Structure 1
Amino acid sequence: MSVIVFGAAIADRIFRVPRLPAPGETALGEAGPPLPGGKGLNQAIAAARDGVSVRFAGCVGADAEGALLRAALREAGVETGWLAEAPGPSGLAAVVVDAAGRNQIAVSAGANRAARAAQVEAIPPGATLLMQMEVPPEENAALIARGRAAGARLLLNLAPAASFPREALAALDLLIVNEQEAAWLAAALGCAVEAEALHAALGCGVAVTRGERGAEAAARGERVTLSAFAVPVADTVGAGDAWCGVLAAALDRGAPLPAAMRRANAAAALACTRPGAAPAMPRAAEIEALLAGR
């Protein structure tokens, strides 16, 4: 089969500071060069490095950042025939990381606002379609409808959290949220923040990632709770994207949800051991080595 990722490609500037600034505070630190990032690009690279065939659909600008992003996808073996060039600048992100690896991120969507579901020219039956929320939500909703009609596996990472049609959420195979996104969604739905409660409220499978406390999921009668892998943390930027991309890859290969989540947990842990987002996505051999040692 194959994984299709529809999402954002964003150039990251990472600022390393002793501690995250409070509102109104200036924090002095060091900035690195632009690095490839964006939830869609990161997840596509994570899936490709885990050994599956990946196609990416999105938009970059006709600028140096766009060239950087396109090259990063191609270097990872991601098919970029559906990556368009849009007027204006590429997406940019300012990522502030403290000494403990915690982060704050501000994003300018740039060319990603021009991403359209129609760029995904075909959805083969049985393909895995992975989406996030850094592109226009209505385009995700349109792609979900097409994917459901085509018989694809549908995954949406509701990041960053934003309003989304209930009928589109109900059509998903799996909705993926972190703790903050789960809290936002639970408040909007008037239910508890656990995966089982969100699953009952929405009717689709739900996975909740909880950082160093692991992950849980509720889907189709399955209830999964897994611990995280303890690792030394360089920064947590991109860990959630490693989780989503490798989960999609594992599910696409036919792994059951518990095994796919355990592999995703290992990938997210490895991403935390090195700086950056896309450059930190682990390869299949690294994931397998960590799994074999635990």
Structure 2
Amino acid sequence: MTVLVFGSANADLVFAVPDLPAPGVTVLGGDLRALPGGKGANQAVAAARDGARVSFAGCVGRDAFATVATAALRGAGVDLSRLAVVDLPTGCASICVDPAGRNQIAVAPGANLAARAAQVEDAALHPGATLLMQMEVPPAEVATLVHRAKDRGARVVLNLAPPAEIPAEALRRLDLLVANEHEAAVLGARLGCGAGADALRGALGCDVAVTLGEAGAVLAGAAGPLRVPAFHVTPVDTTGAGDCWCGVLCAALDRGLPAEAALRRAAAAAALACTRPGAAAGMPVAAETDVLLR
């Protein structure tokens, strides 16, 4: 079994600030930290640290930020044979984090815009593989890979983050769509249906999970709605918590856990990620998640 992640890899420039900046306001913060990030890389690291065998396909540049962007992937033992180095700057995110753990993020995609579905060969999209994608790489490439993976029998999961447009016919071929409340609302408006998991499943025909922050998550599947509460923690930095949730969920599903157990495991891991600074750097290992679950 394998989790294959097609997505973004960034260098995160993290600023600890007393308050999130308002328009036209300069806020003096603490030290700058350069950390690995990007939704694709974050999710790959989360899945690998939870015990999955993970491969990552994406792009970085030929600059110093590429070393930062791939550090956690390499540290987690993720297969990078499908990582391409291109003549664009490595993706970079500017992240302000306040004392409550809330964040404010701006992203320059850079090399992530060069990611292509062709980096993933057909042989990797077999029935024993779980393909996990997000929307920080070109939507047309995501849609292409959805169709190819579904045709070859892989489990196909898309985290609609950020909520970029992707053809509805590609969404209908997913096994699982994951969205937070904002992303679900954007998609619901686009499809002309409600923003709830049930409404989106009715419109698309695939299973839909909507994450609700402190209220947990709800999955609309063939067996009906399934709600799993969040684990309550004191947050330090919520950056990457949603990515942790997606990566661990796919790792759990890939090794055969039933939906409820996989959702609960994802919730536990995401809670732990909120208690640590950084995105990829804050992903828990399987043993830590096991302890919280117990």
Which bin holds the TM-score, normalised by the shorter protein? over 0.9
- CA deviation profile, 1:156-190 (whole Å, cap 9, x unmatched): 00000011100000000110001111111122222
Which residue number in structure 1 is paired with residue 134 of structure 2? Answer: 132
- Pick closer, same or farther for the CA change 1:97–1:71 going to 2, 3 Å: closer
- Following superposition, the deviation at residue 198 of structure 1 comes to 1.0
What is the CA–CA distance in structure 2 between the aligned matches of 1:106 and 1:69, rounded to whole Å? 16
Check conservation: 1:234, 1:272, Cα contact below 8 A: yes
- Which of 245-254 and 30-39 deviates more? 30-39
Deviation at 1:114, TM superposition (A): 0.5
Could you tell me how far 1:24 is from its partner in structure 2? 2.5
SS in structure 1 of the partner of residue 253 of structure 2: helix
RMSD: 1.0
- What is the percentage of aligned positions where both structures have the same residue? 63
Could you list the runs of 5+ residues in structure 1 that have no partner in the other structure? none
Counterpart CA distance in 1 for 2:78 and 2:126 is: 17
Question: What number of residue pairs does the alignment pair up?
Answer: 292
Partner SS, residue 132 of structure 2: strand
- The equivalent residue for 1:82 is 82
Q: Which residue of 2 aligns with 1:104?
A: 104
Give the structure 2 partner of residue 23 of structure 1. Answer: 23
Q: Normalising by structure 1, what TM-score?
A: 0.97
The letter for the 1-side match of 2:272 is L
Residue by residue over 1:5-33, the C-alpha shift from the partner in whole angstroms, topping out at 9 and shown as x without a partner, is 00000000011111212222222212422
The residue aligned with 2:285 is: 283
> Aligned partners of 1:265, 1:111: CA distance in 2, in Å?
31
Does structure 2 conserve the Cα–Cα contact (< 8 Å) formed by 1:13 and 1:31?
A: no
Q: 1:206 aligns with which of 202, 205, 208?
A: 208
**Aligned 1:37-116 pairs, distance under 5 A:** 37-116=37-116
Secondary structure at 1:236's aligned position in 2? coil
Q: In structure 1, what residue type is equivalent to 2:276?
A: R
The structure 1 residue matched to 2:245, chosen from 243, 246, 265, is 243
Alignment of 1:260-279 (within 5 A): 260-279=262-281
Identify unmatched segments of 5+ residues in structure 2.
none
Q: Which amino acid aligns with 1:62?
A: R
Query: What's 1:169 paired with?
Result: 171
Taking the aligned partners of 1:66 and 1:213, their CA distance within structure 2 comes to 36
Q: Do the aligned partners of 2:15 and 2:33 also contact (CA within 8 Å) in 1?
A: no
Alignment of 1:138-217 (within 5 A): 138-217=140-219
Q: Work out the CA distance in 1 between the residues paired with 2:69 and 2:75.
A: 10
Structure 2 CA distance for aligned equivalents of residues 223 and 73 of structure 1: 34
The answer for the alignment partner of 1:9 in structure 2 is 9
